[in-house]
Structure 1
Amino acid sequence: MELDEAISQIKFGNCVLFTGSGFSLGAKSISGGDILNVSGLIERFLDISGVDENRSEYDLETAAQVACGADKQRVFSELMHSMRCREVSYDHRHIARINWRRVYTSNYDNVFEVASTSERKVYRSFTVLDRAHSPEPGGNEVVHIHGYIERLSSDNFDQEFYLTDDQSRNIRFINSSWNRKFLDDLTFSDAVFFIGFSNSDFHIRKLLDSVTNLKNKIFFIVQQNPSRPSIIRLQPYGEVCPIGLTEFANRVASIRPQRRSADSLVHDCFRKKVYERVNSEDHASREQVQQEVMLGTIDEAFFTKSILYDKNRGVYIDRVSRRFSDVLNLNPKCIVFYSDIGNGKTVIANHFCSLYQGRYANVFEYNGRSYSTSDVRRFCESVESSIFLIENVSKNINLLRIISDTNNGHIIVATDRTKRLEIDWHNVRDAVPSAIKFDVNILTSNEMELMVDFLDSNILWGDYTNLSSKQQKVDFIRNRCGAEIRGILFALFDGGSVRNRVDTLFSELDSLPKDYRDLLIIVCVLNFAYTRNNLDGYLYEYEDLLDLRVSLSDFSEKINNSSIGELLDRDRGCFKFKSSVFAKYMLNSKVDISYVLDLVYRALLNLERTYRHDDVYFYRDMSKALMQYNLYREIYTRNSAKDGRLKIAKKLFEKEIHSFYDRCRHLKIAHNDPLFVIQISMAQLDGEHFEECERLIESAEAMCDSNYDRYQIETHKAEVIAKRSLVRGISPGLVSELEAFSLLKSVVERRNERYHPFGVMDVLLHVFDKNINAIMVGDDCDKAAEMMVSMIDLTNRFPNELSERYHIIRIVNRHANGILKKIGYEL
């Protein structure tokens, strides 16, 4: 993109402006002098500190550090007088009157705000300590990444400003929640203009390193006749335009806001998808089938080749045509396919679109970009009846409402993870009352038979080719694989052609340099942690997390030139595995747990050193996600495995996880945290060390003050009691079981609908099922009946809508009713 073309895009209000110290040239401070640039500030700070010799050796951070040590009050006063703006130039006013997507600035001054006020345009100002958010329609936001003079006071100087060496360690833009928003804004904008930016800001340069693919729309407006070194520093990240501030202001002075045409929105928010029909004999190769099975890549051409016209290979499309063929007769406006990670919801949704695209004019896939409600509404009204494909539907409720409200005959095909949809299904129904959902986690009997045909046809059975009859293969899928797609994938990875393909892809893992290998492993763990915890952010500074001497660009080049590059996507500067099943397989089969936990502990130590403030959500959420016991349990244990090797592996897992938690005890994030102690207890519970669990629970309770809600501790305590009874039998007089139920009942009665302990309640019901004969003797029978009645009453309090969302509520209700009948009671 050329500069003139980029400037022509400014009128649509979707361009980003970044101002450095050069932008403030020509503005006057309240003291009457010029707003100081970096070199001017250095001179003032050195005057305060009395430094006369070797002044050229001082940078801004060092000069500020020395000055604060000499007279902090004078530093504060100097900033107030030299950074607060009284007067701006017409150049500033021309630029400030524009509707920018968002303005970022490394300047402390209020030049941009004063300029916008002069144009009767009010901008809201933020710093990195404010909560990050998506840009509002119309923009009018300035983010001061190093601090803002209007927020400065003698009390908050250390927290608000990034100026001295000490402050640079305390707060950095790159460590705040704004770094993701900054990269999002760069990615989704039409063009990005840096004015007066020298690229000496290390933190911004690190972020630009991660989005070098955007350099064709990034423009650096610099002074005329810039030095050769400054050009060299900026060229890797975008086009250097030596036209100066005044010339740029003159070029944009006549720009007036303009609406974007509805058709152009296709390129902004939606991608048009076409599933082209091909010759019925043009089948996909076995390698393509393996790629689709392993990576779940969404290839429109592959769908039509191997699915629409090939019955034996058509397991996914047959799932759609057989199981969901009558869906459209219900005239729903929204269909949601949901499953756990790796069970094929995205592939199912795409196959559904490919099968039914002929009934609609278009298929549009939402790409996750921010949008204007009015623009999207106009677009939806301007196109004929279409299919809109939306992933992670619970995060896009407003988009559902917009599309549904237009009466053009559109249908929404959406996906989401099971846990998220359980919580937000009522929001989906509020937006689209006719929405229907389908659980695609478990294969039906017919689908299991189709899967057998699929695996037979493509010779994918590997080590399980000894399964001779079709029924044996169906039983294998049902019992060994849990009737889940991801379970089948893990089984296929055990041997045969799929295993060979996997080994080929991972063949270069061991030959990678150690730093690159470590980086790949931590990417894998972070992907898994984020997915499990529904975290929205991504960690861009992987190399900082492990304190490695490699850059993301070097890592990207190295990985892309290896076979492992086929497994990774690079999305807005963040590496992630295309398939979470593959990520789990790599950790499970290719990397020892001890090595992974050592890397994670290194990462936690670096997180603690980097993030000094507990209110920085990234440190808190990321650290806690990396210390979750169930994260590693899910990766390194297989519940269905019972042979001797895996018993040994389980003991090794227990040993390593206990060692990991012993080291983590000393971390600040874990200190005096009762929920960290509960993670240790969960690890002990898996090994059936019930007495140790009780001791740990007592320790966790002792850490809680009077205002602490112990619902998670109480739920875990009830689970320990229930599982102990499941292993050792019921207690005399059902004392322990009654205590467990009392804890769970208390949690249900005081927690909101987003947290409920009915899963543990079902474990307790299994205790009664297992010991039904012993319970029917003496007074235990009456106590058990009373508990069942209370449990049924508890589940009946939940409205039908919640029971529909949380299947476990209905399961507990039926289970309790069944036990009540077994012991001879009727409601």
Structure 2
Amino acid sequence: MVDRMLLSGEFSYAAFATQQHHIHQSPEYCVPRTKHLNSVFDANVNRFIVSSDLGNGKSIFLEQLTFEAHSRGFEVFAVNTQLPEALAELDILLTSSAKRMYLIDGYARYRKAVKHIGKRLPASSVLVCAIAQSVDDLLHSEIAEDMCGAPREIDLNILDSAELAAWDGLLERWGFWEGRIQETRVDRLEFLRAQCGSENRSIVLSLFRETRLSRKIDEIVNYFLRQNPHHSKAFIAVLINALCQNHVDWPRITEWLEIDNAALKVDVLSSPVGDFMSGTSRWYEFTSTELASYILNHYDFAIDEMVEVYSKIVRETAYSADDLRGGFDARENLKELMRFRFLTKLFSSRGVGVTAINAVYRNRCSAPTLPFTA
């Protein structure tokens, strides 16, 4: 269960609930952001913006917050659409004086929903939005205007001393310290503080490099790129979608790339991935954003194949942008896929990265005109 969360980013509500019911013991599943969780309920405001750099735990925090809100008697609604009928349903919910919490993971993506809820939010309810960047004064003012009230910011980037101590206990509990287990607790905490910068992302990356997870990652990459090269395009598609935070619909990707999804599922679950992803319906989301970036940084891929897969996904996403119902999601996905920052993550190899990005632009220029929407 812990390996699944670290590698795929999938959070288990049940595992976290079990951990929190033994709150006086050291965490056995994940590090709770207790101070920040309590701040949502102890504040005299009901609008919050949760900020962190990519990989520092905003989505996991929202999952933890869901449990905490339930335990305090709140109904929780995760808002991940802006379809008119969904907003109409929200109108009905927002007329109630019941204790309700509305969670939006992606302020920019779901800005229309943020405005809609913020304008109607009753005093008994709480609105929490997450954003994958730091919030300066200008952005804070924009968010306050959208939320129809000044939000309190919760910055998750830096772990406090209690959270670092919880990480130490968790790593010891599951044998992740390996060679460092001989060090004193003070030295291990100093490693988390100094070498990992007191950041979730850096701690997880150190696990990818230095523990049994590194061997598991080797096994996964070898399975797809060397032992079963006929699945290499599917593997690249999985990594691209992970970098896009799995916003692109996987069945569509398999259709675009002519992947036999049923056969792929059988092979994936019989591969090293099956060790930690068996029993989940979203078996194809077996790498987190951080793991996808790590793999692309540390392993060699056939660049022509990566360009081909990426260009196909971009092209078909663009063709979907004018769909009356799904067009919004397609346009947002297209924005993410086309960002230069995204391209530099995808084609991260220093030796061929620039060449690959140039190939992508040439591919786009030679393709039929796409319905890009601003």
Q: TM-score range by the shorter chain?
A: 0.7 to 0.9
SS of alignment partner, residue 493 of structure 1: helix
SS of alignment partner, residue 209 of structure 2: coil
Structure 2 counterpart of 1:379, from 61, 85, 93? 93
The reply to whether residue 437 of structure 1 matches residue 143 of structure 2 is: no
Residue segments in structure 2 that go unaligned for 5+ positions in a row: 368-374
- 1:551 aligned partner: 260
Deviations 1:516-565 (A, max 9, x none): 2222113313542x35xxx976686546766xx63344434543454436
Structure 2 counterpart of 1:325, from 34, 38, 41? 38
On the 8 A contact 1:296/1:579 being kept in 2, the answer is yes
Equivalent position amino acid for 1:426 in 2: S
Residue 299 of structure 1 deviates from its aligned partner by 1.7
Gap change, CA 1:578 and 1:385, over 3 Å in 2: farther
- 1:312 aligned partner: 26
Residue 313 of structure 1 deviates from its aligned partner by 1.6
On the 8 A contact 1:312/1:454 being kept in 2, the answer is yes
On the 8 A contact 1:385/1:410 being kept in 2, the answer is yes
Equivalent position amino acid for 1:654 in 2: R
> Aligned partners of 2:29 and 2:198: how far apart in 1?
14
> Aligned partners of 2:155 and 2:312: how far apart in 1?
40
Bigger RCO (CA 8 Å, 6+ sep): 2
- 1:389 aligned partner: 103
Structure 2 counterpart of 1:601, from 287, 304, 307? 307
Deviations 1:452-510 (A, max 9, x none): 232223321134435x1233222322333232212111111224344455456667435
Gap change, CA 1:472 and 1:327, over 3 Å in 2: same
Identity of aligned residues (%): 15
- 1:409 aligned partner: 124
Within-5 A mapping of 1:568-647: 576-577=285-286, 579-589=288-298, 591-593=299-301, 595=302, 597-603=303-309, 625=337, 628=340, 630-631=341-342, 633-634=344-345
SS of alignment partner, residue 297 of structure 1: coil
> Aligned partners of 2:351 and 2:157: how far apart in 1?
33
Using the TM superposition, name which of 474-483 and 394-403 deviates more. 394-403
Larger Cα-atom Rg: 1
Gap change, CA 1:316 and 1:416, over 3 Å in 2: farther
Within-5 A mapping of 1:121-520: 288-310=1-23, 311-313=25-27, 318-320=32-34, 322-368=35-81, 370=83, 371-382=85-96, 384-404=98-118, 405-407=120-122, 409-418=124-133, 425-430=140-145, 431-466=147-182, 468-502=183-217, 508-510=223-225, 513-520=228-235
Gap change, CA 1:500 and 1:460, over 3 Å in 2: same
> Aligned partners of 1:446 and 1:544: how far apart in 2?
47
- 1:800 aligned partner: none
TM-score using structure 1 length: 0.37
SS of alignment partner, residue 460 of structure 1: coil
Equivalent position amino acid for 1:319 in 2: R
TM-score using structure 2 length: 0.73
- 2:273 aligned partner: 564
Equivalent position amino acid for 1:484 in 2: E
Deviations 1:61-99 (A, max 9, x none): xxxxxxxxxxxxxxxxxxxxxxxxxxxxxxxxxxxxxxx
Equivalent position amino acid for 2:5 in 1: E
> Aligned partners of 2:90 and 2:339: how far apart in 1?
41
Gap change, CA 1:446 and 1:609, over 3 Å in 2: closer
Gap change, CA 1:438 and 1:524, over 3 Å in 2: same
The reply to whether residue 654 of structure 1 matches residue 354 of structure 2 is: no
> Aligned partners of 2:128 and 2:214: how far apart in 1?
34
On the 8 A contact 2:307/2:356 being kept in 1, the answer is yes
Gap change, CA 1:421 and 1:543, over 3 Å in 2: farther
On the 8 A contact 1:360/1:387 being kept in 2, the answer is no
The number of aligned residues is 353
SS of alignment partner, residue 67 of structure 2: helix
> Aligned partners of 2:318 and 2:111: how far apart in 1?
35
Deviations 1:146-190 (A, max 9, x none): xxxxxxxxxxxxxxxxxxxxxxxxxxxxxxxxxxxxxxxxxxxxx
Deviations 1:789-818 (A, max 9, x none): xxxxxxxxxxxxxxxxxxxxxxxxxxxxxx
Residue 409 of structure 1 deviates from its aligned partner by 0.6
C-alpha root-mean-square deviation of aligned residues, in Å? Answer: 4.4
